[in-house]
Homo-oligomer: A and B are copies of this chain.
């Protein structure tokens, strides 16, 4: 009789709830429909259950978001230990940008969660080790970390926004902006847009490597100076 019980069907399409499954589906939802579409109700729907069932695996929405952020960190490649510190940091920063690009909703959350997860801690630890390996004294280490992360987060934030603007409201928005755009009032912006930013081969993302190298160059010089 157990195979004919009321939730036999449910059993098949619901591999049983678990913290992992809840988080995984939450990430999917956020990635696909945006963070504002991630409601407890919608999440429950996608899991084939009812809202209150989730509360046994995740204490509340805040904790859910904490968990998601930690997953994001888990996806960011740690600086490889078999590369020089510069290359290693480049790898980890590029990975961070890529991951944040895949999960644009996470950027504003990254720094606003008050409960660092294990993956976040492990990540920080590995980056600090790399900076230490580079021979940076503590004060320089602090600068380096602050500066690199500021750049990475800020860049990801701007890219996340660009992605939104290329959404379905593209036409409407472009028209709106163009309309509000008096070429006489904003000559530089007009020139910049016409002659560069709207060209098909322009890619905002190119500035990432440019800026990253600017910072790494500067830090390398500082390390030399400190070492001398």
Residues of A within 8 A of B (CB): 108, 111-112, 114-116, 121-122, 124-125, 128-129, 132, 138-139, 141-143, 146-147, 149-155, 157-158, 160-161, 164-165, 169, 173, 176-177, 180-181, 185-189, 191-192, 195-197, 202, 204, 206-207, 210-211, 214-215, 217-219
Contacts and interface: CB of A to CB of B under 8 A. Distances in A.
Across the A-B interface, the 10 shortest Cβ-Cβ residue pairs: A154-B154, A150-B154, A147-B211, A214-B218, A146-B207, A108-B108, A128-B188, A153-B154, A150-B155, A111-B161
How many copies altogether?
Answer: 2
B215 A114 contact: no
16 contacts: A108-B112, A112-B161, A114-B165, A116-B177, A121-B189, A124-B189, A125-B185, A125-B186, A125-B188, A138-B196, A142-B197, A142-B202, A143-B207, A153-B154, A153-B158, A154-B154
Contacts of A204: 142, 146
A147 B207 contact: yes
B154 A196 contact: no
Contacts of A210: 143, 146-147
B125 A214 contact: no
Contacts of A192: 128, 138, 141-142
A151 B147 contact: yes
Given A112-B161, A143-B210, 20 more contacts: A108-B108, A108-B112, A114-B165, A116-B177, A121-B185, A121-B186, A121-B189, A125-B186, A129-B188, A142-B202, A142-B204, A146-B204, A147-B207, A147-B211, A150-B152, A150-B157, A150-B158, A214-B214, A215-B215, A217-B218
A128 B176 CA distance: 21
Contact of A164 (B114, B115, B150): B114
